[in-house]
Amino acid sequence: MIVTITNENGEVLYDISKIKDDQQQNEARIIVQKTGTLSVVIEALDFASRTHRANLDKLLEGCSEAVVEQEKKKEDS
């Protein structure tokens, strides 16, 4: 399994299957799996958040009584 790590020094490619120590190789695989899972969760939360915001916007558009008038900023002359 080849992994690309991007940091302040640029990109580095690593081949996890070439790690000689079985414990380190297994730990690297677990970290890759956890990182992948977190990426999926982040994407799902972002999608859910955008959907809820859009639904709230749609709901509030029909509630003119809920509109709050904003004060105009006074311009310094």
Please enumerate in sequence order all residues whose Cβ is within 8 A of that of 15, keeping only pairs 6 or more positions apart, or say none. 1, 2, 3
pLDDT score of 72 = 80
pLDDT score of 73 = 75
Hey, CA dihedral for 70, 72, 74, 75, is it positive or negative?
positive
24 band by pLDDT with thresholds 50, 70 and 90: very high
Q: Does the pLDDT of residue 77 top 60, yes or no?
A: no
CA nearest 15: which of 23, 6, 25? 25
Mean pLDDT of the chain: 93
pLDDT digit string (tens) for 44-65?
999 999 999 999 999 999 999 9
